[in-house]
Amino acid sequence: MKLVRRLSIWGLLVAVVMVLPGIVGAQDYAPPAEEQAWLAATANQSGTIPPGTEITMQNWQQYKQFMPAGMVDLFEGKYFWKMPADVRMVIGPTVDHPMPASYREATEKYSAQVRIQPLADGGMTIVNYQGGQAFPNPQEPNKGWKILVDEWFPPAPHLYVQAYSPDSALIHFCTSDRFQNRACVKNDLVYRQLAFNSDPGIPRTEPGARDAYLSEWIMVESPEESKYTADLTTFYQDFTKPQDDYVFVPAMRRSLRLSVSARCAPLFGSDMTHDDQKTGFNGGFTAFQAKYQGDRQVLAMMEETSAEGKFPENYDWPLGWAKPSWGPWSLRNAYVIDVRRIPSMRPGYCYGSRFMYIDKQTMSPTWIDLYDTNMALWKVASYAKGPLTDPASGQVYAWGHYTEQYWDLQNDHFSSIFGADSRGKDLLINGMAPKEYDNITKYSTPGGLMQIMK
């Protein structure tokens, strides 16, 4: 088994594709055929799965009514990627994950003033958003789109940091192909919410935020030949303004602003794109329409146990499926939404449909089925999350640590993005983060990229 450690800097760059102004179509649309069949098959879910149950290849069909459509495909063996013969999914109790108190307070204070505003190009945005959940009880009309907006602003810490230190770990991007060639890239990560904050003691809009509300900074630490390659994505308080993507190229000693179409570019050679960041969805909710497809109970992994053991050698290869040591699976109440680019913005975009299973408590996806522009299933993605406590405030964030896995069913490729290292260390949040990473200029602005090699 050969470990290949390569990263193509130019894999971050893509050709410019013309993206036209969009109009939100008033027409209804049917789900992809595979999802339509899944919705019909799961419409009358009954019973439950008792804690202690082990789902295996011998009994999985008893529980398929609770599996997302893409997970059913992995069990059925329809593609190259399929469940290993000895797969074990241990079921635990469903643990309550209430939203942090300050986030709930912001929701109560500000949500009543949030309004949907039609745009001149036919899209929609929101106005008067100040923080918390924009639509705490989403209803029709536009229920699916309201759920998408809530997923855009989840109850998450305002600062995430991953860096190799005594208390933290580097983030890992690991990939594998059908021949089990594997490549791993280790990265530093700093994600910062600059505006609409609800964390105790944090300004609602931080000094230095300017017109941004969120920044995502990632830099390669190894392999050595790619060290210092960095990617910065900036999101704006004007929700109609597209995000900006920058890459720092060490060989050139300069940063480059990427085209709008870079949102479909692979991120550090993985199967994850820029549009798959930020709790599983990006691209600007004003450019998308989302149809609510119903409520379901779905199997999800909430990592209640420690991060120790969640490392590539502890996967069930070749699929890369989570082993029981990661933590239990449980049934979670989920919204199911079908997300698509508005019609006139579809040319040149990577996905035809993003079928999302959104956990109702954390308002973040636990699974996503991604369809190409011909509505053929392309990728399936699993998101395992676990809680972390901020010692300063005592608040518990359900999305504290995480593992994300992407299976490319059309190209027989697999990627895993995870935070834990072999020591069991994981990411740090808010005041737990090393002080040197609490730097807006360096980690949240394009100018900061030019400080990397100084």
- DSSP state letter for 145: H
Range of the domain at 432: 60-449
pLDDT tens string 372-409: 999 999 999 999 888 889 988 999 998 777 788 999 99
Mean of all residue pLDDT scores within the chain:
87
What is 342-359 written as a DSSP string?
Answer: -GGG-TT-S-SEEEEEEE
The top-scoring range by mean pLDDT among 270-279, 373-382, 421-430 is: 373-382
Asked whether residue 192 is domain-assigned, the answer is yes
Indicate whether 238 belongs to any domain. Answer: yes
With residue 27 as reference, give the H or E element that holds it: none
Residues 6+ apart with CB under 8 A from 179: none
Residue 11 has a pLDDT of 40
Whole-prediction pTM: 0.91
Residue 278: predicted pLDDT: 55
Span 352-372, pLDDT tens digits:
999 999 999 999 999 999 999
In a domain, 36, yes or no: no
pLDDT in tens, 288-331: 999 999 999 999 987 655 444 455 566 666 788 888 877 889 99
Asked if the structure places residue 239 within a domain, the reply is yes
pLDDT digits over 39-84, tens only? 999 999 999 999 999 999 999 999 999 999 999 999 999 999 999 9
Q: What is the dihedral of CA 146, 148, 151, 152, to 10 degrees?
A: -100
41 found inside a domain:
no
Check which CATH number belongs to the domain holding 342 and give it: 2.50.20.10
Within a domain: 11: no
User: Is the residue at 230 inside a domain?
Assistant: yes
Integer-rounded Cα Rg, in Å, for the chain is 21
Which of the two residues, 237 and 5, has the higher pLDDT score? Answer: 237
Q: How many domains does the chain have?
A: 1
Question: Per the domain annotation, does 391 fall within a domain?
Answer: yes
Q: Evaluate whether 168 touches 428 at the Cβ level (below 8 Å).
A: yes
